[in-house]
Amino acid sequence: MVFVRTTPPRPVDVAAVLPELAPLARAAIRLHPRPGAPSVEESSVGGPLLWPAEEPWPHCEASHLHVDSGFRRSPADVRLKRRMQARWHRDHNGRGTTPEEAAVKERNAAMLAERFAVGPPPADCPVPMLPVAQLYLRDIPLLRPPGQADLLQVLWCPYDHDPHHKPSTALFWRSATEVVDILATPPEPYEVNGDGYLPEPCVLAPEAITEYPNSLGLGPQMLLSVEDWSRWQAAGVDVDGSEHAHCPRDFYDVHLADAPGWKVGGWPPWGRTDPISRYCAVCDAQMVPLLTIASYEWDGGEGHSWAPHEEQAAADTTGHCCGQDPSQPTKVEVGSTDNMQIYVCPASPEHPHTDLIQ
Protein backbone atom coordinates (compact mmCIF):
# COMPACT_ATOMS: atom_id res chain seq x y z
CA MET A 1 0.00 0.00 0.00
CA VAL A 2 1.43 3.37 -1.03
CA PHE A 3 1.19 6.12 1.55
CA VAL A 4 2.00 9.83 1.30
CA ARG A 5 3.51 12.34 3.69
CA THR A 6 3.45 16.03 2.74
CA THR A 7 5.53 18.78 4.29
CA PRO A 8 3.40 21.89 4.96
CA PRO A 9 4.37 24.97 2.91
CA ARG A 10 7.00 27.08 4.62
CA PRO A 11 5.75 30.28 6.26
CA VAL A 12 7.47 32.32 3.54
CA ASP A 13 9.29 31.83 0.23
CA VAL A 14 12.96 32.28 1.13
CA ALA A 15 14.02 33.09 -2.42
CA ALA A 16 11.34 35.80 -2.66
CA VAL A 17 12.30 37.50 0.61
CA LEU A 18 16.05 37.01 0.24
CA PRO A 19 16.88 36.65 -3.48
CA GLU A 20 20.57 36.52 -2.59
CA LEU A 21 19.96 33.08 -1.04
CA ALA A 22 18.27 31.69 -4.16
CA PRO A 23 21.53 30.32 -5.67
CA LEU A 24 22.05 28.30 -2.47
CA ALA A 25 18.80 26.35 -2.82
CA ARG A 26 19.39 22.59 -2.79
CA ALA A 27 17.16 19.67 -3.62
CA ALA A 28 16.51 17.12 -0.90
CA ILE A 29 14.20 14.13 -0.53
CA ARG A 30 12.58 13.58 2.84
CA LEU A 31 12.20 9.83 3.29
CA HIS A 32 9.40 9.92 5.90
CA PRO A 33 10.10 6.41 7.28
CA ARG A 34 7.13 4.90 9.12
CA PRO A 35 6.81 1.45 10.76
CA GLY A 36 5.78 -1.27 8.34
CA ALA A 37 6.79 -4.54 6.76
CA PRO A 38 8.99 -3.68 3.78
CA SER A 39 10.22 -6.41 1.45
CA VAL A 40 13.65 -6.77 -0.13
CA GLU A 41 12.16 -5.28 -3.30
CA GLU A 42 11.30 -2.00 -1.57
CA SER A 43 13.16 1.03 -0.32
CA SER A 44 13.18 0.98 3.46
CA VAL A 45 14.79 1.96 6.73
CA GLY A 46 15.76 -1.00 8.89
CA GLY A 47 14.14 -3.45 6.47
CA PRO A 48 15.51 -6.57 4.77
CA LEU A 49 18.17 -6.06 2.12
CA LEU A 50 18.31 -7.40 -1.42
CA TRP A 51 21.58 -9.14 -0.58
CA PRO A 52 23.19 -11.76 -2.85
CA ALA A 53 23.33 -15.18 -1.19
CA GLU A 54 26.86 -15.74 -2.50
CA GLU A 55 28.21 -12.43 -1.12
CA PRO A 56 29.62 -12.43 2.44
CA TRP A 57 27.59 -10.39 4.90
CA PRO A 58 29.58 -7.35 6.13
CA HIS A 59 31.08 -7.57 9.61
CA CYS A 60 32.77 -4.92 11.74
CA GLU A 61 36.35 -6.05 12.33
CA ALA A 62 37.17 -3.46 15.03
CA SER A 63 37.64 -4.27 18.70
CA HIS A 64 34.66 -3.60 20.95
CA LEU A 65 36.49 -3.75 24.25
CA HIS A 66 35.47 -0.23 25.28
CA VAL A 67 31.72 -0.84 25.01
CA ASP A 68 29.87 -0.60 28.32
CA SER A 69 28.09 -3.95 28.68
CA GLY A 70 25.43 -2.33 30.87
CA PHE A 71 23.75 -0.96 27.73
CA ARG A 72 23.83 -4.17 25.71
CA ARG A 73 20.67 -6.05 24.73
CA SER A 74 20.04 -8.74 22.17
CA PRO A 75 18.16 -7.62 19.02
CA ALA A 76 15.41 -10.11 19.89
CA ASP A 77 14.97 -8.54 23.35
CA VAL A 78 14.84 -5.03 21.88
CA ARG A 79 12.11 -6.11 19.44
CA LEU A 80 10.12 -7.79 22.21
CA LYS A 81 10.36 -4.67 24.38
CA ARG A 82 9.07 -2.54 21.51
CA ARG A 83 6.12 -4.87 20.86
CA MET A 84 5.19 -4.74 24.53
CA GLN A 85 5.46 -0.94 24.62
CA ALA A 86 3.26 -0.66 21.53
CA ARG A 87 0.64 -2.87 23.20
CA TRP A 88 0.80 -0.80 26.41
CA HIS A 89 0.33 2.34 24.33
CA ARG A 90 -2.81 0.88 22.74
CA ASP A 91 -4.14 -0.48 26.04
CA HIS A 92 -3.15 1.53 29.10
CA ASN A 93 -4.69 -1.14 31.32
CA GLY A 94 -2.75 -3.92 29.66
CA ARG A 95 0.57 -3.52 31.47
CA GLY A 96 2.55 -6.60 32.28
CA THR A 97 3.48 -9.52 30.07
CA THR A 98 1.11 -11.70 28.08
CA PRO A 99 1.69 -15.48 27.94
CA GLU A 100 2.86 -15.13 24.35
CA GLU A 101 5.35 -12.40 25.29
CA ALA A 102 6.57 -14.44 28.25
CA ALA A 103 7.19 -17.37 25.91
CA VAL A 104 9.15 -15.18 23.50
CA LYS A 105 11.16 -13.77 26.40
CA GLU A 106 11.97 -17.26 27.66
CA ARG A 107 12.93 -18.39 24.18
CA ASN A 108 15.21 -15.35 23.72
CA ALA A 109 16.93 -16.07 27.03
CA ALA A 110 17.44 -19.72 26.10
CA MET A 111 18.94 -18.78 22.73
CA LEU A 112 21.30 -16.29 24.36
CA ALA A 113 22.34 -18.81 27.01
CA GLU A 114 23.07 -21.37 24.30
CA ARG A 115 25.21 -18.89 22.39
CA PHE A 116 27.20 -18.02 25.50
CA ALA A 117 27.49 -21.59 26.81
CA VAL A 118 31.18 -21.59 25.92
CA GLY A 119 31.69 -18.00 27.05
CA PRO A 120 30.93 -14.65 25.42
CA PRO A 121 32.52 -13.86 22.07
CA PRO A 122 35.91 -12.15 22.36
CA ALA A 123 35.97 -8.37 22.07
CA ASP A 124 37.85 -8.57 18.78
CA CYS A 125 35.35 -11.01 17.23
CA PRO A 126 33.86 -9.58 13.98
CA VAL A 127 30.35 -8.25 14.58
CA PRO A 128 27.63 -8.65 11.91
CA MET A 129 26.45 -5.23 10.76
CA LEU A 130 22.79 -4.19 10.84
CA PRO A 131 20.74 -2.85 7.91
CA VAL A 132 20.09 0.88 8.24
CA ALA A 133 18.63 1.83 4.87
CA GLN A 134 17.96 0.41 1.41
CA LEU A 135 17.24 3.00 -1.29
CA TYR A 136 16.24 2.24 -4.88
CA LEU A 137 17.04 4.85 -7.54
CA ARG A 138 13.48 4.61 -8.86
CA ASP A 139 12.24 5.97 -5.50
CA ILE A 140 15.12 8.35 -4.75
CA PRO A 141 16.21 9.96 -8.04
CA LEU A 142 18.67 12.25 -6.21
CA LEU A 143 21.00 9.28 -5.76
CA ARG A 144 23.96 9.36 -8.11
CA PRO A 145 25.07 5.72 -8.21
CA PRO A 146 28.18 4.56 -10.04
CA GLY A 147 27.89 2.75 -13.35
CA GLN A 148 24.70 0.71 -13.79
CA ALA A 149 23.93 0.54 -10.07
CA ASP A 150 20.40 1.45 -9.03
CA LEU A 151 20.42 0.46 -5.38
CA LEU A 152 22.16 1.83 -2.28
CA GLN A 153 22.44 -0.24 0.91
CA VAL A 154 23.67 1.27 4.17
CA LEU A 155 24.65 -0.78 7.22
CA TRP A 156 26.29 -0.01 10.55
CA CYS A 157 27.94 -1.69 13.49
CA PRO A 158 25.61 -1.52 16.53
CA TYR A 159 28.37 -0.25 18.83
CA ASP A 160 29.99 3.14 19.37
CA HIS A 161 33.48 3.52 17.98
CA ASP A 162 36.26 5.86 19.02
CA PRO A 163 37.21 8.62 18.66
CA HIS A 164 33.77 10.15 18.02
CA HIS A 165 31.55 7.57 19.76
CA LYS A 166 29.36 6.65 16.81
CA PRO A 167 28.59 3.50 14.84
CA SER A 168 30.90 2.65 11.97
CA THR A 169 29.04 2.61 8.64
CA ALA A 170 29.31 0.69 5.36
CA LEU A 171 27.86 1.58 1.94
CA PHE A 172 27.15 -0.79 -0.93
CA TRP A 173 26.03 0.20 -4.43
CA ARG A 174 24.64 -2.56 -6.64
CA SER A 175 22.40 -3.34 -9.60
CA ALA A 176 19.20 -4.95 -8.37
CA THR A 177 18.75 -7.04 -11.52
CA GLU A 178 22.07 -8.77 -10.89
CA VAL A 179 20.87 -10.22 -7.58
CA VAL A 180 19.40 -13.64 -8.40
CA ASP A 181 19.64 -15.69 -5.21
CA ILE A 182 18.82 -13.61 -2.13
CA LEU A 183 20.31 -14.19 1.31
CA ALA A 184 17.29 -15.34 3.31
CA THR A 185 18.60 -15.11 6.87
CA PRO A 186 21.39 -12.58 7.40
CA PRO A 187 23.47 -12.97 10.57
CA GLU A 188 22.75 -10.66 13.49
CA PRO A 189 24.98 -9.44 16.31
CA TYR A 190 24.63 -11.08 19.72
CA GLU A 191 23.86 -7.68 21.21
CA VAL A 192 23.38 -4.03 20.32
CA ASN A 193 24.81 -1.18 22.34
CA GLY A 194 21.51 0.46 23.18
CA ASP A 195 18.06 0.20 21.61
CA GLY A 196 18.70 3.21 19.36
CA TYR A 197 21.11 1.28 17.13
CA LEU A 198 18.47 -1.21 15.98
CA PRO A 199 16.28 0.55 13.38
CA GLU A 200 12.63 -0.40 13.35
CA PRO A 201 11.60 -1.78 9.91
CA CYS A 202 10.00 1.15 8.08
CA VAL A 203 8.47 1.78 4.68
CA LEU A 204 9.13 5.13 3.02
CA ALA A 205 7.10 7.97 1.52
CA PRO A 206 9.77 9.95 -0.39
CA GLU A 207 9.00 13.65 -0.88
CA ALA A 208 11.06 16.17 -2.86
CA ILE A 209 11.64 19.50 -1.11
CA THR A 210 13.95 22.52 -1.41
CA GLU A 211 16.37 23.46 1.37
CA TYR A 212 18.62 26.39 2.25
CA PRO A 213 21.78 26.44 4.38
CA ASN A 214 21.63 26.69 8.14
CA SER A 215 22.58 30.22 9.24
CA LEU A 216 25.89 28.87 10.54
CA GLY A 217 26.80 28.10 6.94
CA LEU A 218 26.06 31.57 5.58
CA GLY A 219 28.63 34.26 4.82
CA PRO A 220 28.66 37.49 6.86
CA GLN A 221 26.70 39.56 4.32
CA MET A 222 23.99 36.96 3.83
CA LEU A 223 23.73 36.50 7.58
CA LEU A 224 23.09 40.22 7.95
CA SER A 225 20.24 39.89 5.45
CA VAL A 226 18.72 36.99 7.40
CA GLU A 227 18.94 39.01 10.62
CA ASP A 228 17.30 42.09 9.06
CA TRP A 229 13.93 42.11 10.78
CA SER A 230 12.48 44.58 8.31
CA ARG A 231 12.99 42.14 5.40
CA TRP A 232 10.74 39.56 7.06
CA GLN A 233 8.16 42.12 8.15
CA ALA A 234 7.95 43.50 4.62
CA ALA A 235 7.15 39.97 3.43
CA GLY A 236 4.24 39.80 5.87
CA VAL A 237 5.86 37.30 8.23
CA ASP A 238 4.43 37.53 11.74
CA VAL A 239 7.82 37.39 13.42
CA ASP A 240 6.35 39.32 16.36
CA GLY A 241 3.98 36.44 17.06
CA SER A 242 6.76 33.88 17.06
CA GLU A 243 8.90 32.73 19.93
CA HIS A 244 11.76 34.00 17.73
CA ALA A 245 10.45 37.61 17.73
CA HIS A 246 13.80 39.04 18.73
CA CYS A 247 15.89 36.70 16.60
CA PRO A 248 14.82 36.37 12.95
CA ARG A 249 17.89 34.17 12.49
CA ASP A 250 16.28 31.53 14.72
CA PHE A 251 13.03 31.86 12.77
CA TYR A 252 14.98 31.19 9.58
CA ASP A 253 16.83 28.18 11.02
CA VAL A 254 13.79 26.55 12.64
CA HIS A 255 11.23 27.04 9.87
CA LEU A 256 12.98 27.76 6.58
CA ALA A 257 16.49 26.37 6.22
CA ASP A 258 17.15 22.61 6.36
CA ALA A 259 14.44 20.05 7.10
CA PRO A 260 14.77 17.71 10.07
CA GLY A 261 14.42 13.95 9.76
CA TRP A 262 15.74 11.24 7.46
CA LYS A 263 16.58 12.61 4.03
CA VAL A 264 18.79 12.27 0.98
CA GLY A 265 20.75 15.30 -0.24
CA GLY A 266 20.01 18.76 1.08
CA TRP A 267 22.05 20.78 3.55
CA PRO A 268 23.76 19.72 6.78
CA PRO A 269 21.95 20.45 10.07
CA TRP A 270 24.80 22.35 11.71
CA GLY A 271 24.58 23.18 15.37
CA ARG A 272 26.40 20.48 17.27
CA THR A 273 29.55 21.91 15.67
CA ASP A 274 30.35 24.80 13.38
CA PRO A 275 30.34 23.90 9.67
CA ILE A 276 33.06 21.39 8.80
CA SER A 277 33.99 20.75 5.18
CA ARG A 278 34.69 17.11 4.39
CA TYR A 279 37.18 16.23 1.65
CA CYS A 280 37.59 12.99 -0.28
CA ALA A 281 40.58 10.98 0.89
CA VAL A 282 41.26 9.87 -2.71
CA CYS A 283 40.81 12.95 -4.91
CA ASP A 284 40.46 15.78 -2.35
CA ALA A 285 37.08 16.88 -3.76
CA GLN A 286 34.73 18.51 -1.28
CA MET A 287 32.25 15.84 -0.24
CA VAL A 288 28.47 16.30 -0.30
CA PRO A 289 25.71 15.01 1.99
CA LEU A 290 24.22 11.72 0.83
CA LEU A 291 22.02 10.51 3.67
CA THR A 292 20.90 11.98 6.98
CA ILE A 293 20.12 9.39 9.66
CA ALA A 294 17.98 11.25 12.16
CA SER A 295 16.98 10.59 15.74
CA TYR A 296 13.74 12.54 15.22
CA GLU A 297 11.54 13.43 12.26
CA TRP A 298 10.67 16.83 13.66
CA ASP A 299 11.56 18.91 16.68
CA GLY A 300 9.35 19.87 19.58
CA GLY A 301 7.85 23.32 20.00
CA GLU A 302 7.75 25.42 16.85
CA GLY A 303 10.02 22.92 15.13
CA HIS A 304 7.08 20.62 14.53
CA SER A 305 6.03 22.93 11.68
CA TRP A 306 8.02 20.40 9.61
CA ALA A 307 5.69 17.57 10.69
CA PRO A 308 3.71 16.33 7.67
CA HIS A 309 0.17 17.55 7.12
CA GLU A 310 -1.03 14.02 7.74
CA GLU A 311 0.54 13.96 11.22
CA GLN A 312 0.01 17.47 12.55
CA ALA A 313 -2.50 16.24 15.14
CA ALA A 314 0.00 13.70 16.47
CA ALA A 315 2.76 16.33 16.47
CA ASP A 316 0.59 18.66 18.56
CA THR A 317 -0.02 15.97 21.16
CA THR A 318 2.12 16.09 24.27
CA GLY A 319 2.87 13.46 26.88
CA HIS A 320 3.74 10.53 24.62
CA CYS A 321 4.03 7.36 26.65
CA CYS A 322 5.45 3.86 26.41
CA GLY A 323 8.19 4.94 24.01
CA GLN A 324 5.62 5.73 21.28
CA ASP A 325 6.75 9.15 20.07
CA PRO A 326 5.35 9.80 16.56
CA SER A 327 8.41 11.90 15.76
CA GLN A 328 10.69 8.86 16.32
CA PRO A 329 9.16 6.16 14.10
CA THR A 330 12.48 4.42 13.35
CA LYS A 331 13.44 4.14 17.06
CA VAL A 332 16.94 5.21 15.97
CA GLU A 333 18.87 7.46 18.33
CA VAL A 334 22.39 8.59 17.48
CA GLY A 335 24.59 10.74 19.68
CA SER A 336 22.57 12.85 22.09
CA THR A 337 19.41 12.63 19.95
CA ASP A 338 21.44 14.02 17.05
CA ASN A 339 21.79 13.23 13.35
CA MET A 340 24.42 11.21 11.54
CA GLN A 341 25.19 12.49 8.07
CA ILE A 342 26.90 10.30 5.49
CA TYR A 343 29.00 12.17 2.92
CA VAL A 344 30.22 10.92 -0.46
CA CYS A 345 32.58 12.18 -3.10
CA PRO A 346 30.73 13.96 -5.94
CA ALA A 347 33.38 12.83 -8.41
CA SER A 348 32.97 9.14 -7.59
CA PRO A 349 30.49 7.56 -5.16
CA GLU A 350 32.85 4.57 -4.97
CA HIS A 351 35.51 6.61 -3.20
CA PRO A 352 35.48 6.05 0.58
CA HIS A 353 32.59 7.80 2.30
CA THR A 354 32.73 9.59 5.64
CA ASP A 355 30.17 10.50 8.28
CA LEU A 356 29.59 13.15 10.90
CA ILE A 357 27.37 13.52 13.97
CA GLN A 358 25.37 16.78 14.06
pTM of the model: 0.91
Mean pLDDT of the chain: 88
C-beta neighbour count of 152 within 10 angstroms: 25
Asked if residue 108 has pLDDT above 80, the reply is no
The answer to whether residue 117 scores a pLDDT higher than 70 is no
Residue 236 pLDDT more than 90? no
pLDDT over 60 (residue 287): yes
Q: Are 17 and 232 in contact (CB under 8 A)?
A: yes
Give residue 13's pLDDT.
Answer: 93
* pLDDT tens-digit readout, 67-107: 554 567 889 889 888 888 888 877 776 677 888 777 777 77
pLDDT value of residue 207: 98
Can you give the pLDDT at residue 335?
A: 83
Residue 303: per-residue pLDDT:
63
Tell me, what's the pLDDT at 123? 59
Predicted pLDDT at 101: 72
Residue 354 contacts residue 286 (beta carbons within 8 Å) = no
Residue range 243-259, pLDDT digits in tens:
555 688 998 999 999 99
| Amino acid 125: pLDDT | 78
pLDDT interval class at 216 (50, 70, 90): very high
Q: What pLDDT, in 10s, does the model give residues 22-42? A: 999 999 999 999 999 999 999
For residues 88 and 80, the answer to whether their CB atoms sit within 8 Å is no
Q: Strand ranges (DSSP E) for the chain?
A: 26-30, 34-35, 44-45, 59-60, 72-73, 127-128, 130-136, 151-156, 169-174, 192-193, 202-203, 207-211, 263-265, 288-294, 339-344, 354-357
Instruction: Output the pLDDT for position 103.
Output: 75
pLDDT given at position 62: 83
CB atoms within 10 A of CB 114: 9
pLDDT of residue 72: 74
In the chain, the amino acid numbered 268 is P
Max avg pLDDT among 63-67, 188-192, 333-337, 344-348: 344-348
pLDDT at 110 over 80: no
